[in-house]
Amino acid sequence: MKKSNNKKLLAWVAEIEALCKPEAVYWCDGSQQEYQKMLKIAETAGSATKLDESKRPNSYLFRSDPSDVARVEDRTYIATTKQEDAGPTNNWIDPGELKKTMRGLYDRCMRGRTLYVIPFSMGPIGSLISKIGIEITDSPYVVANMHIMTRVGEKVLETLGADGEYIPCLHSVGAPLDPGQKDAAWPCAPIEKKYISHFTEENLIWSYGSGYGGNALLGKKCLALRIASVMAKREGWMAEHMLILRLINPEGRRFHIAAAFPSACGKTNLAMLIPSIPGWKAECIGDDIAWMKIGPDGSLRAINPESGFFGVAPGTSYASNPHAMESIKSNSIFTNCVLTDDKDIWWEGMDTEILHGIDWKGRDWTPASGEKGAHPNARFTSPASQCPVICPDWEDPQGVPIDIFIFGGRRTSVVPLVTESFDWDHGVYMGATAASEPTAAALDVKAKLRRDPFAMLPFCAYNMGDYWQHWFDMGDKLGDQAPKIYYVNWFRKSPEGKWLWPGFRDNSRALKWMCDRLEGKAQAQDTPIGRVPNPEDLYLENLEVDTQDIKTLLSVDHAAWTEELPEIETFLAKFGAKTPARLKAQFEKQKQRLTAKINISSSLK
């Protein structure tokens, strides 16, 4: 591939080559031949297994080292000159100190390996909402995955030009090779030497020691959320941990929805929704990240900056998400799944059962083995273009106009099925106080609730108080064209532990109410926490849910909401002077509404 004529880029690549001392330098062109070459290198090295061509065409299974299986949040750092700019929710290190440590690790770290230069675009190449990144890596696995997850190649360098700006992303697995030394099937550094570092004042990413997922595919969480969140604040746009969905009603009107959920709340399933309501249709634009800028017409326009899905495999099935299963039929990379005896992949929660396979650690496995065959964070990487319901214009460089924002969490009680905010500021309060009950995967399992503002807690690379203020500022700029804001909870249970809402396809019923509200077709009742549907406002035909359960799903327990106020107040106070006055005002308004309702109900007894 012809090298770039961008002097800044050429100088940076030369600097990293001198530091890391690779055996060779390779500039990626993004071609199919290159993709196959990377997979062949991995297969020869013993890190990849080609799956049966008749069952899963052009697809490969990788197994990582057991120490390198997920994002390492406690080794993820935000480096800013002032610690308060990183805020209390991030791991902060002084930039000078961190660079000194990492330069020591990078010194000759690519010895015996090839340095790959990956020019990539987050978002359609040339879009005014897109950004260009350059990742340097010594991992063929990373090159292959970046081919799927981003737009890679010569067109990116052409768009960059001689003096264009790019985001430098440096990655190494941290496993130099001596002459004649046999390589590991999955090279990586021990946990104490892993660093995923973000120098936000320079738009710079340095990652060392991990070859897995978001630690190594630096266009994903590192660039598309952490660095982009800071760039968005600085430049006046939004980088959010949100799916993007197009919903089309029987009259043909399109509604564009962006939704933020913490893990284990059905985000991917909603992104690929099959509505249960006759005449309604859904199309997927993105399943994980949304970049949004105000367009010439004043509306908020969104793109999916990624070009692929990097999804959690366990639990994905034709029952839970048939469109995801169709998306991974071919041209996909699987990581830490079970290899079946007929050279296909399998994981827990898939529709089929198996008697024997090779587990994610490379051992013989049966259902009686006593351990799960696939790692709980096993992944698939698949082109978004293969999704059966991908929006025909999902790569429109202009983006799509967002009508609705949705926040949500996993709550077995208290929170109604769907709530509409009173206005933009109240909606920001909803997002800022979003919470989920902990799951088995959460570290803070002793906590009653885990606050995850806007589902951005691990990904907002600056002070969360400033992030909240940015949402208020964007609302001011959007004015009457600001999207409407809603909060949903698919996970409410009865006191006996029975799920009250079927979820999955039937979540479209809550979305229909939101769309009907935009058109003035549906009513709502005011409560202290927002506007909720009356039972008759929801489309409930052919839904096997008891009438009393529907009432419970839409009910607001004033006492239970009041009990949470002290914890919310403590959470907001964590950000000190950075907590926006408008957010504090919304807290006080909610407190007053709840107190008034309790007093009214008490006086009626």
Spatial distance between the Cα atoms of 476 and 299, rounded to a whole number of angstroms: 12
H or E segment to which residue 214 belongs: helix 213-216
- Answer yes or no: are the C-beta atoms of 494 and 552 closer than 8 Å: yes
Task: Give residue 161's region: left, alpha or beta (phi > 0; psi -120 to 50).
Answer: left
Q: CA–CA separation, 393 vs 75, rounded Å?
A: 38
**CA-to-CA distance for 205 and 211, rounded, in angstroms?**
15
Can 188 be counted among the known catalytic residues? no
Residues contacting residue 51 through CB under 8 Å, at least 6 positions apart: 59, 60, 61, 334, 343, 344, 345
Q: What is the dihedral of CA 550, 510, 350, 438, to 10 degrees?
A: -70
Alpha-carbon span 585 to 569, nearest angstrom: 11
Which DSSP string corresponds to 60-97? EEE---TT-SS--GGGEEEE-SSHHHH-TTS-B--HHH
Q: C-alpha angle 233/159/27, rounded to 5°?
A: 105
Q: Among candidates 352, 319, 344, which has minimal Cα distance to 502? A: 319
Q: How far apart are CA 286 and CA 307, in angstroms?
A: 9
DSSP per-residue codes, 427-475: HHHHHHT-EE---TT-S-TTSS-EE-GGG-TTT--S-HHHHHHHHHHHH
| Bridge partner residues of 316 (DSSP) | none
CB 166 within 8 A of CB 125: no
- Residue 418 DSSP symbol: E
Non-local CB neighbours of 466 within 8 Å, separated by 6+ positions:
85, 87, 233, 578
231 phi and psi, to 5 degrees?
-60, -40
- Long-range Cβ contacts of 209-212 (<8 Å, 24+ apart): 209/75, 209/105, 209/172, 209/173, 209/174, 210/68, 210/72, 210/75, 210/173, 210/174, 211/64, 211/68, 211/139, 211/141, 211/142, 211/173, 211/186, 211/187, 212/64, 212/68, 212/69, 212/70, 212/188, 212/335
Lookup: tokens for 117: 């230069």
* CA 455 vs CA 98, 405, 491: distances in Å: 27, 13, 17
Tell me what percent of the chain is helix, strand and coil, each rounded to the nearest 5. 35, 20, 45
Strand, helix or coil at 28?
A: coil
CA distance between the termini of the chain: 79
> How many other C-beta atoms lie within 10 A of the C-beta of residue 364?
9
Q: Which of 169, 188, 265, 387 is catalytic?
A: 265
* Residues annotated as catalytic (active site), given as ranges: 265
